[in-house]
Amino acid sequence: MWLFLAACTNDAERWAPPPGTTWQWQLSGQVDTGIDVAAYDVDLFDAPDRAIDDLREAGRVVICYFSAGSHEDWRDDAGDFPEAALGEALDGWAGERWLDTRDSTVRSLMEARLDHAVQRGCDAVEPDNVDGYANDNGFDLAASDQLDYNRFLAGAAHDRGLSVGLKNDLDQVRELEPDFDWALNEECVAYDECARVEPFIDAGKAVFHVEYVDAWADAEALAEEVCAARPASFSTLVKTWDLGREFLDCG
């Protein structure tokens, strides 16, 4: 487990991106640090120190991704999770199981991950899989459990001076918007649900938005459709499913 590094910082120093903030999202492959955007979203565990250092030296905001709602059996801390807190498998994601987010050890491990984000020089965090209650999780988690957990994550991030985004969890956007600094949405154009994320825009907060393409050769055609359909205030990317170094936005 990582060293505890919690620190109190002034809220005014925490990154609060406005609508239209430019970004790149890369979770696989060698990080291409040369794209001229305001923020990069990279993997908390896998992004090399050099990449994070280069991004910070270039004045980019570094967002660090980690799963807050699922157990990934390949992570360094995978063995620290109690077996009783491991639930059903995530459909389509090998090696992942839903977590009982009410469990005190799970919450302590997430705090340790946030400490690790501070240690690595991350400015912000993207906790993933924060909608377990809406899935077959194995624990009968209620909507109230999810609200409590997501607010716990936001508060713990803020206590460490980290900006934090709400990933998907569309049914709880209105309740959780005040607790989060920005939102990240996947495929709201494909599912015709972008309006559900707009409370963040109304609050003056960025919505980072991604639509996926199976083959990069089809990316420009998809981008033409997506950029016409999505709210103009969204920070939209077209990416492949492995979230590699490719970059195409609505410019």
Which H or E run includes 164?
A: strand 163-167
- Per-residue pLDDT of the chain (251 residues), as tens digits, is 333 333 444 566 899 999 999 999 999 999 999 999 999 999 999 999 999 999 999 999 999 999 999 999 999 999 999 999 999 999 999 999 999 999 999 999 999 999 999 999 999 999 999 999 999 999 999 999 999 999 999 999 999 999 999 999 999 999 999 999 999 999 999 999 999 999 999 999 999 999 999 999 999 999 999 999 999 999 999 999 999 999 999 98
Question: What's the Cα-to-Cα distance from 226 to each of 37, 43, 153, 238, rounded to whole Å?
Answer: 20, 26, 31, 8
Q: Is residue 12 part of a domain?
A: no
Q: Is residue 163 part of a domain?
A: yes
**Tell me, what's the pLDDT at 107?**
98
Q: Is residue 246 part of a domain?
A: no
Q: Is residue 250 part of a domain?
A: no
Residues 205 and 17 sit within 8 Å (Cβ to Cβ): yes
Q: Is residue 59 part of a domain?
A: yes
**Tell me, what's the pLDDT at 13?**
87
Residues 102 and 84 sit within 8 Å (Cβ to Cβ): no
Query: Which residue range is the domain that position 149 belongs to?
Result: 17-240
Angle, helix 104-120 to helix 143-159, in steps of 10 degrees: 30
**Tell me, what's the pLDDT at 12?**
62
**Amino acid making up residue 143:** A
> How many domains are contained in the chain?
1
CATH of the domain at 130: 3.20.20.70
Q: What is the pTM of this model?
A: 0.94
Q: Is residue 1 part of a domain?
A: no
- Rg (C-alpha) for the chain, rounded Å, is 17
Q: What DSSP string describes 73-96?
A: TTSTTGGGS-GGGEEEEPTT-TTE
**Amino acid making up residue 193:** E
Q: Is residue 63 part of a domain?
A: yes
**Tell me, what's the pLDDT at 251?**
85
Q: How far apart are CA 184 and CA 127, in angstroms?
A: 10
**Amino acid making up residue 172:** Q
